[in-house]
Chains A and B, each alone.
Chain A
């Protein structure tokens, strides 16, 4: 598009007239009108919030108009005054825009527009998310309609990127070129995206709904097991002994990470390709009809599947399916399965001997994979923390055009892959990527740490996940360069994933070594910590979920990685995987290994632990000035919470030993202990009977909402109420879940205790 003849008085709507698809044009016009109406006070705050969320217009940290500078919370005096864009969300506060990139596929023109938008409206950075989206930060809501128009003009929408809707449909980034898949799932992901976008049966959910496509079972692939709806490509033989076959899918439902992860259940062992969209529609209808609406904490479909049981859920889906009116879109796309095809633009040829650019061999070893198409490879661009600049995005577009026709795919590991690259072109391709600062080796390896935004920009962030991830990248790279313990071949392919809170956006549950942000109180102040998660499995579509072992101060986490990796290097048995090793040595041993790191220094002994990575502000909730009297009570509470943590850890060990019943009982007991600890702040004579404790907890902390999490509300309290009186179970899955819940309950108790300290300090003052 030439800019030499444009009219400078035009608007983007005028400039792009005829280039924005009519449906999206109308959609964006409606949103622009709603923005105007909200400015005039004609739309309710909550309604407008959901309206913008469904367009991908998300909140960002400090958008309540307050910012803590380490000593006090101060008002950010935006010029908009009282105008809000949702409950407690100031209009002028910068926000995040989530941009859906179905199955991560982008072309050159789209990359260029994203680059332009990042420069003009954001901070010059495009961020690849763990669900193959692109996010722009520090966006003003008034700019969003124009951004949406510019995106729509190149075939991108933000519609339903957030909110209670069908989110970005993800897929294996190697779909179509993978050596193990039975067929390319891309056109099916494409069809699913367009079928459910704005579909009337997908508009009344209590929570978000995530769909993923996988091509094979053994790799991480599309992570089908951890999605609300997971779709795995299958081919089955048909006919009696003939060699004909048909395409179809194994369909999973009710998986998900979040605070308490659930493994998906098999909804169908096999559905034919023509049955896939109606099945998804039926699932949406059941979820919309029966899913929880009022309690957000239990509104994901995983809770509905767990509550009903997969058999009953399947029956309801079948019933729904039988009554669905036929829709030609169910099968129309099957005539256009080439819609997502990508074809090489250069002849496939072997890599010839010859001079190589500096660093080529290492990059070749970690970032390049052979495709099933002979002579072609996929090459991964290893992005630090998923970030790249507008300049890099344009350079990538140019490079992709030269080597594969201009197509790339975002990955859930926050990288970008170029597919259909001729092996013979690898040195030239690498040279171009390197010149653009995109040639870092180590993709999908230990150094390639994944992270959610955390406290950098997320309103829910507790600890600095990006700060930690950045620090780990540096230290791991240094260790590899100096042939330290992290250079050992045994740990090369381990995955580290970091979330800033328990919500698991960094996918810490499925990492070899995962972390999620928590806080702890020490010396009257608050210290950022991370829970260490071990036992998760990235491969086999996120085959198993890890559990928390112990919380360690943020600044000591690099030492945690070195020690765990060092133990694995030193003591692993031949052929033993990291998961097998952790199971063999046991979490008690790991905890012992890390025990000294959990001992907290006083503020005067080591102030550095009282701030987070990349943020010099003291990590506190304010000048607490805890008085002597309150201090004593706090000590008692901390003691009780510490006992609760020990109890849940014992439950974890029981689970490792295979005793699900005892594990679940200990998880329950841990929650009761934590509840009792809190009650002692108000009733030091509280007894030890669970009924009494739960009753008092309900009265003193639930009914008063003092225990409620600012964002999750009653969620954690309900974990206790749910199992109280129904504590027995022999199900290892249920025991696993209860341990997760107990850990979160204890975290919530810690947070509640901090609020108690604040109130007591205020009273003393």
Chain B
């Protein structure tokens, strides 16, 4: 479906507080100088050194797959990936559940999106500072994709409006952008695709 531009509040606001499973992707500013395989030793070291305050389990390499998930750092609550989908490399944070102490007590959609941004940006910061990658990966924190990864929730206009509103506020709270800046809705009402919001 063609993209819409939503810049107003929705008339109805469905309760999305129970929606936990999201994907948030930050696109790389320039990915030409790094191969996905270079993330394999980095992610292994993150597990060993417990770089993140959550349970990290394994590394999976799908760099052989065309425009696939690249190289994954699989955690209990989320999967981090240097993702290559649609030929747009970036860091993908895919949250599955919220069991680690820092995610305890998230009760609202807005707080959840704030925590998604915080977890994702923290990983971006770490990657940008990785000595093994030598500063060759830089993320554009203004080019984001937020995707609902749970098809039990409706991918309708009301959901999109509610989500877009919460996303804008969370972005402003995180200091990424002005709270009035528009959020583009990439997928809505398309049965096969997940509801996706995009900025930048």
User: Nearest 6 pairs between A and B by C-beta?
Assistant: A437-B66, A616-B41, A69-B48, A384-B64, A79-B99, A124-B69
Give CA–CA (A437, B62) in the complex, Å: 14
Chain B: interface residue count, which band? 35 or more
Residues of chain B contacted by A384 (CB below 8 angstroms): 64-65
Q: Are A78 and B152 in contact (CB under 8 A)?
A: no
Q: Are B44 and A69 in contact (CB under 8 A)?
A: yes
Residues of B37-87 contacting chain A, CB below 8 A: 37, 40-41, 44, 47-48, 55, 57-62, 64-69, 72, 74, 76, 79, 85-86
Q: In the complex, A437→B67 CA distance in Å?
A: 8
Which of A2-10, A369-377, A694-702, A751-759 is the interface stretch?
A2-10
Contact A123 B74 (CB under 8 A): yes
Which residue of A is nearest B65, CB measured? Answer: A387
Q: DSSP class of B's interface residues: helix, strand, loop or mixed?
A: loop
B57–A116 CB distance below 8 A: no
Q: A15–B57 contact, CB under 8 A?
A: no
**Contact at B99–A11, with CB atoms within 8 Å?**
no
Q: How far does the Cβ of A160 sit from chain B's closest Cβ, in whole Å?
A: 27
- For residue A52, CB closer than 8 A to chain B, the reply is no
Chain B residues, CB < 8 A from A436: 66
Known contacts A4-B154, A123-B74; is-contact A456 B67 (Cβ 8 Å)? no
Tell whether, in the assembled complex, residue B58 and residue A3 are in contact, meaning their CB atoms are under 8 Å apart: no
Residues of A within 8 A of B (CB): 1-12, 15, 61-62, 67, 69-71, 74, 76-79, 92-94, 112, 115-116, 119-121, 123-125, 137-138, 140, 384-385, 387-389, 391-392, 394, 436-438, 456-457, 467, 470, 473, 614-617
Interface flag for B184 (CB, 8 Å): no
Type the 1/0 row for B102-145, where 1 means its CB is closer than 8 Å to any CB of A: 00000000000000000000000000000000000000000000
B176 to chain A, nearest CB (A): 26
Cβ-defined contact, B68 with A125, below 8 A: yes
Asked if A8 contacts B154 (CB within 8 A), the reply is: yes
Whether, in the assembled complex, B165 has its beta carbon less than 8 Å from a beta carbon of chain A, the answer is no
30 interchain pairs (CB within 8 A)?
Answer: A3-B189, A4-B155, A4-B156, A5-B156, A9-B18, A11-B152, A15-B152, A67-B47, A67-B57, A67-B58, A69-B48, A70-B44, A70-B48, A74-B48, A76-B55, A77-B55, A93-B57, A94-B57, A94-B58, A112-B192, A116-B151, A121-B96, A123-B60, A124-B62, A125-B69, A387-B65, A438-B66, A456-B61, A470-B61, A615-B44
> Would you call B177 an interface residue if the criterion is a C-beta within 8 Å of the partner chain's C-beta atoms?
no
Flag if B76 contacts A78 (CB, 8 Å): yes
With both chains docked as a complex, state the minimum distance between the C-beta of A656 and any C-beta of chain B, in angstroms.
Answer: 37
Give every chain A residue within 8 A of B86 (Cβ-Cβ): 391
* A138 lies within 8 A of B60 (CB): yes
- CB atoms of B153 and A8 under 8 A apart: yes
Interface residue B149 (Cβ < 8 Å from any Cβ of A): yes
Closest to A5 in B: B154
Residue of A nearest to B189 (CB): A4
Would B58 and A61 count as touching, CB distance under 8 A?
A: yes
**Contacts known (A61-B58, A67-B57); A3 close to B151, Cβ less than 8 A:** yes
Contact status of A138 and B151, CB under 8 A, knowing A3-B191, A123-B62, A437-B66: no
Q: From A617, which residue of chain B is reached at the shortest CB distance?
A: B44
B169 within 8 A of A: no
Please tell me which one of the listed residues B15, B40, B149, B156 contacts residue A120 in the complex, with CB atoms under 8 A apart: B149
Q: How far is the CA of A69 from the CA of B37 in the complex (A)?
A: 18
Q: How far is the CB of B157 from chain A (nearest CB, A)?
A: 8
Distance between Cα atoms of A78 and B77 in the complex (Å):
10
Residue of B19, B60, B67, B149 near A119 (CB, 8 A) is B149
Residues of A within 8 A of B34 (CB): none
Say which residue of A93, A137, A616 sits within 8 Å of B60 (CB atoms).
A137
Q: A614 near B68 (CB under 8 angstroms)?
A: no
Nearest opposing residue in chain B for A137, CB measure: B60
**Contacting residues, chain A, for B3 (C-beta < 8 A):** none
Contacts of A140 in B (CB 8 A): 96-97
Q: Which residues of B sit under 8 angstroms from A94, Cβ to Cβ?
A: 57-58, 74
B200 within 8 A of partner (CB): no
| Binary CB contact string for chain B from 11 to 49 against chain A (1 if under 8 A, 0 otherwise) | 000111011010000000000000001001100100110
| Contact in complex: B14, A392 (CB < 8 Å) | no
Q: How far is the CB of B73 from chain A (nearest CB, A)?
A: 11
Let me know if A2 and B191 touch, CB within 8 A: yes
Contacts of A389 in B (CB 8 A): 65-69, 85
B150 contacts across to A, CB distance below 8 A: 120
Is B198 an interface residue, CB under 8 A from the partner? no
Task: Report the Cα distance A94→B152, complex, angstroms.
Answer: 22
**Residue B168, interface by CB 8 Å:** no
| B92, closest chain A residue (CB) | A124
Minimum C-beta distance from B42 to chain A (A): 9
Smallest CB-CB separation from B66: which chain A residue? Answer: A437
Q: How far is the CA of A242 from the CA of B68 in the complex (A)?
A: 59
B152 engages A10 (CB within 8 Å): yes
Most buried by B among A124, A140, A394, A436: A124
A6 to B156, CA, bound (A): 9
Q: Are B16 and A8 in contact (CB under 8 A)?
A: yes
| Contacts A3-B189, A617-B44 given; does A92 touch B155 at CB 8 Å | no
A614–B85 touching, CB < 8 Å: no
Does A473 contact B64, Cβ atoms closer than 8 Å?
yes
Min CB gap A79→B, angstroms: 4
> In the assembled complex, how far is the CB of residue A336 from the closest CB belonging to chain B, in whole angstroms?
31
A616 with B156, Cβ < 8 A, contacts A3-B151, A62-B57 known: no
CA distance A71 to B45 in the complex (A): 12
**B149 contact set on A, CB distance < 8 A:** 119-120
Q: Which residues of B contact A121 (CB under 8 A)?
A: 96
The reply to whether the CB of B194 lies closer than 8 angstroms to some CB of chain A is yes
Contact B154–A120 (Cβ < 8 Å): no
Q: How far is the CB of B90 from chain A (nearest CB, A)?
A: 14
Contact residues in B for A457 (Cβ distance below 8 Å)? 60
Contact B152 A79 (CB under 8 A): no
Residue of B nearest to A124 (CB): B69
By the criterion CB–CB under 8 Å, are B57 and A123 in contact? no
Kindly list chain B residues whose C-beta atoms are within 8 Å of the C-beta of A12.
Answer: 152
The answer to whether A125 touches B65 (Cβ under 8 A) is yes
Cβ–Cβ contact B191 & A616, under 8 A: no
Cα–Cα, bound, A123→B60 (Å):
9
- In the bound complex, residues from chain B placing their C-beta under 8 Å from that of A7 are 154
Once the chains are docked, how many angstroms separate the CA of A12 from the CA of B152? 7
In chain B, residues 157-193, which have Cβ atoms closer than 8 Å to a Cβ of chain A?
Answer: 159, 189, 191-192
A466 to B159, CA, bound (A): 41
